Each structure stands twice: as C-alpha cells, then as structure tokens.
Amino acid sequence: MKSTWLLFGLFGIVSLVVTAPTGLSQSNEQTPRQLIFTTRPLLKGNLDKILAQSAAGTGLKMWSYDVTSTRKGSIGKKYKGVMVGGNPLTSNGTTTITMQIVPLIVDIQGTVFDPTVPDAKCAGGKIPLQLIEQSPLVEPADFTMNGVDMGKTQYTDAFRRASFWDAVSKNGGGYHNRLKVVVLPAIKIHPGSHGSIVFSHAPCGAFGGLDYFWFTKHLENRLIPSLQQQGLVNPTTFPFFVVYNVAFPFNGQCCVGGWHGSFGSPVQTYGIALFDTSGAFGSGYTTYGMSHEIGEWQDNPLFFFDLKTLGNPTPPWGHVGQVTGCQNDTEVGDPLTGTPPIRVTMPNHFTYDLQEMAFFSWFFGPPSIGAGGKFSSNGTFTSAPGPCH
C-alpha cells in the first residue's frame, strides 16, 4: 500500500508532505502520516534574570546578541536573542556543555522497544544505544561545509562554527561549542493505553507510538524532576531522551519525531528524539531527528510567550521545509526538514543521517557571515528569505 503522510505542526508550525514506502502494514490504532519536529513553548521569564543565572553558573551557559535585520521587508528592525555556549563573535576558545543521553525502554502492549540490547532485525545485530554513542553527534568527524574545512569535531559544533565562520576565522579559528556526553541508566516506560503500535509491520519490524500529550506531561512532571532529585541532571546540563523506533502520535496523526523545551527557574532545558532504523519513514532517519533537535536547542534554547514568539525572535519566514505558514524564530532545523540528509560513515562502519540546518544569516539577512558565503550548512540556501505573508 502506498500512502501520503501529511505532517501536522504544533503551535503554528505546519509541515511538508512525504510519501511512505511501499508495502508498509499498519495497525488499527493510528493512521500513518509522517514525522515532524517541534518545540514546547512553556517558559515565561525575564531574560536578564536568566542571563544572570547563566553567568553565575546556576543556569545553562549562554550568550546574548543584538542584531539589526538586513532582510527585505524588515530592514533596520532590531532583534535580541540567546544561544547556548560561548560567543563566536568574540571568543576563540572552547565551551563545553554536559549533555546526558537518557535511553528510554518502551513496553507497548508487550512489544518492547529497547535501545540498550542488540537488534538483529533493524540494526544488524548492533546495540542502538552504542550506535548513538558512536555517532558524529557524540564523536568527532571530519566536516567540510560549503567547501570550508570545519575540522574534526561533533556535528553541532561544526554547524555553529560554520554559521559564524567569518567571525570564527578572523578570531583565529579556535572557537568550539562542544558537548560532553554522559549516558545515564535506561528508564522503562509502561504507557498502557497511551501507547500504540503505529505500524505492526514496518520494513524490519514494528514501530511504536507514545501519545504526545501524555508523554510531555510524563516527561516534564515526572522523569526530569526525578533525575533532578537524584542529582543526575540540573539546569546547567542538557538531558536528551532517546526512544528507539518509537515516535509520538498527535491527535491520532503520526507523528512528532522529537522536540526540545524549557521550564523552571533556573531554566531546565531538554530534548527528545527518536533513533530510527525501522524504515517506517523510508531511509535517512537514523540520527536525523536527533541532529535537528540538538541543533535547535543550541541556537534557540528558550521560549517566551511574553515575546509572542516560540523562541529567539526573527523577521517572519516560512513556506519552506516543514513550515507552510509564517514563523518568526531561530528554529534552525524547521526550514530544511525534508532535505536529503548529510551522511557520515564513522569508524564503526555505520552510516549516520544528519539534517542540514540554516545559518544565523538566513534569519536576519545578507551578506552571509557563514561558511562559503552560503546560508545553510550544506549549501541548499544560497540567499536569505524574502518577506513572509
């Protein structure tokens, strides 16, 4: 059976259309659609207070910027935002943020999706969690972006360097924004009626679903507070939850593939995404969603309703990637969701899928200060967007 999967965005984010692979068998629990990636805009707060907590070491390490737009339709307008790590405009050193990978073992009606054990059907007998640990999101790899050598480093560090390459290179090229990755013990999830088998026979096995609304409450009200109480995570760190061949149906549609969010004071940021080897959405989704969410957390960590935006405010942009309307924030993955993955083969001989992401200059206007004078990490964007209506 050949189906068309429509993406349905949350909080005003809409999405692209993708075709499902032939021969996919689905259960009765969910109607297949496709993956989207989104945010959880929960936080209200005072930016000065958050930056003071960051400077005091009680909050996440961040830097702030003020920028004047040069984009058509918004020339001269001023914007303020924050990003994770050190300031690439002024720093020539390395900032390191601790990211805790939290594997989730999901038991849905007796079908267990476990990233901590070998999977002969979908992962060639390898352990998915070990594959994640060996990925270019964790281990260094050689990256060249738009013809410019970014060095051997993690993908999101290479992206940050490339996005601000003019400043990074002028300052000596020593700037890095790296992740110190710690793997925490796996957590078992028994969702009961909140879980479903989305596809009973994906190309190499079942594909599970956790109700998006139920799981976000479970994550923010139980899982993260429990990890905080145990002293395993805190506002200076970035817990990142990983599910294996499981996504998050939303109002009966499939599926949210990941998101990042923030809450509390000092602000606790977090992310979640699937590691997918099932083939349910075609090839190219192993670490695609993970790279999307980590990259967006890095460049858009906070969400303020009082600023009437989902994150760092920008001139409106849209009608591209997974966004069919207009959006006004620095979600670096959304405008390029659906582009072919950047593929990297690591020393373990496994090939990983990484999503291309938009540079800082794409949101605020020309000329590009990014690598190769382009506006995205793999050269898809060669100019900034026009006004969005």
Residue 125 CB contacts under 8 Å (≥ 6 apart), including other chains: 118, 119
pTM of the model: 0.89
Angle, CA 221 vertex, CA 216 and CA 227 arms, to 5°: 105
Share of the chain above pLDDT 90, in %: 74
pLDDT for 38 equals 57
Confidence of residue 204 (pLDDT cuts 50, 70, 90): confident
Residue 6 CB contacts under 8 Å (≥ 6 apart), including other chains: 15, 17, 33, 34, 253
Top mean pLDDT of 34-48, 293-307, 351-365 is at: 351-365
Structure tokens at 339: 């582009």
- Cα–Cα distance measured from residue 19 to residue 278, given in angstroms and rounded to the nearest whole number: 16
| Residue owning tokens 């390898």 | 126
What is the number of other CB atoms lying within 10 angstroms of the CB of residue 217?
Answer: 12
List, for residues 330-371, the tens digit of each pLDDT value: 999 999 999 999 999 999 999 999 999 999 999 999 999 999
Share of the chain above pLDDT 70, in %: 86
Q: Which of 288, 323, 320, 312 is nearest to 364 (CA)?
A: 312
- Using the predicted structure, report yes or no on whether residue 100 has a pLDDT greater than 80: yes
Domain ranges of the chain: 4-373
pLDDT for 280 equals 86
Torsional sign, CA 106, 194, 6, 301 = negative
Residue 389 CB contacts under 8 Å (≥ 6 apart), including other chains: 326
pLDDT for 285 equals 87
Helix ranges (DSSP H) in 57-125: none
List, for residues 377-388, the tens digit of each pLDDT value: 999 999 999 999
